[in-house]
């Protein structure tokens, strides 16, 4: 079955440390991949997206992600985390249901930043 998985439910990093959030997908073709961030009680903000082309994608707020077809992964990275990055991060993929396409979200990773 087509799906997207975020293995880490909760991650804690120190401010200034590097960050990598994992995302794996199960899909036959090249998927459309997204990373969103959600602050408490807020909607979702798009960080970056991958449709095709260069597999290293740059996003907003200093985030980047790399699409690795061989590993079916689209991990999100940031070289130096700021306290304001504490939030919930969702990986999402467009999946086809046969008659339509829909955006399916992973379970999310909650990022805590310690000072």
Give the residues lining the site for another protein (CB under 8 A): 32, 34, 36, 41-46, 49, 51, 90, 94, 100-108, 110
- Nearest distance in Å: CB 45, another protein: 8
Nearer to another protein, 40 or 70 (CB): 40
Cβ-count burial of 94 within 10 angstroms (0-12 exposed, 13-18 middle, 19+ buried)? middle
- Nearest distance in Å: CB 94, another protein: 4
- Nearest distance in Å: CB 95, another protein: 10
DSSP E strand boundaries for the chain:
3-5, 10-14, 19-21, 24-26, 32-38, 44-50, 56-58, 64-68, 73-78, 87-96, 101-105, 109-114
Question: What is the distance between the alpha carbons of residues 109 and 100, in angstroms, rounded to a whole number?
Answer: 27
Nearer to another protein, 31 or 78 (CB): 31
Nearer to another protein, 3 or 14 (CB): 3
Nearer to another protein, 60 or 103 (CB): 103
- Nearest distance in Å: CB 50, another protein: 11
Secondary structure letter of residue 84 according to DSSP: G
């Amino acid at each position: 079955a087509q799906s997207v998985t975020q293995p880490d439910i909760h991650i804690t990093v120190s401010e200034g440390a590097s960050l990598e959030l994992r995302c794996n997908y199960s899909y036959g073709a090249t998927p459309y991949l997204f990373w969103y961030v959600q602050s408490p009680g807020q909607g979702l903000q798009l960080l970056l997206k991958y449709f095709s082309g260069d597999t290293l994608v740059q996003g907003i707020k200093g985030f980047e992600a790399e699409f690795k077809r061989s590993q079916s992964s689209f991990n999100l990275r940031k070289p130096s985390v700021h306290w304001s990055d504490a939030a919930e991060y969702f990986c999402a993929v467009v999946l086809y249901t046969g008659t339509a396409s829909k955006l399916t979200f992973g379970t999310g990773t909650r990022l805590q930043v310690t000072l």
